[in-house]
Amino acid sequence: MALENEPIVEEMDEAEDTTKNNYLIFMIDNEEYGVEVTYIKEIMQMIPITQVPQTPSYLKGIINLRGDIIPIIDVRDRFRKAPKEYDTMTCIVVIVYKEYILGMIVDSVLETLIIEEHDILPPPNVKLNYYNQFIRNIGRNEKRFKLLMDLERFLLDD
């Protein structure tokens, strides 16, 4: 029982946090990437994008999402991978990260997956290519490695 003027603090049981270690897994080329589900606002099919002049090539433009203007980044282009025609599997993953709301164009969305802490490893201490700078950790499960994105660097680094 709490004393008068003493705050009542309820600790959240880990089982109550349904997003803990939960990642949205998507494909770019034949590689699987993950973004923490807590940052996902929605997943949507491709819609027309309004181009904005004088922006980097990976910034494909903007969309109107229920009255909000959302910038759209092509992850494939941001990673400097070969272009690919958008198809029925291509979609936009809308994320909210800190004060940023944006859409990421991905080749396809596979699943949501819980990756336990002991299965999350730091990336190798070697720069293998440009897009490795956007990888925070590597998740492993019985099937394959998942490259877990560092959204801060993805959004802010050039």
pLDDT digits (tens, 9 = 90+) for 10-61: 444 444 556 678 999 999 998 999 999 999 999 999 999 999 999 999 999 9
Higher pLDDT, 140 or 129: 140
Residue 15 lies in a domain: no
- pTM score, whole prediction: 0.82
Task: Tell me whether residue 8 is in a domain.
Answer: no
Q: Note whether residue 27 is domain-resident.
A: yes
Would residue 82 count as lying in a domain? yes
Is the residue at 2 inside a domain? no
Given a contact cutoff of 8 angstroms between Cβ atoms, the answer to whether 113 and 22 are in contact is yes
Is 18 inside any structural domain? Answer: no
Q: What is the pLDDT of residue 38?
A: 95
What percentage of the chain carries pLDDT values higher than 70?
A: 81
Indicate which CATH number applies to the domain containing 90.
2.40.50.180
Which range of residues forms the domain containing residue 70?
A: 23-156
Binning the chain into helix, strand and coil, the percentages to the nearest 5 are 15, 45, 40
Give residue 136's pLDDT.
Answer: 85
Q: Is residue 1 part of a domain?
A: no
For residues 60 and 68, is the Cβ–Cβ distance under 8 A? no
Count how many domains the chain has.
Answer: 1
Q: Answer whether residue 92 is part of any domain.
A: yes
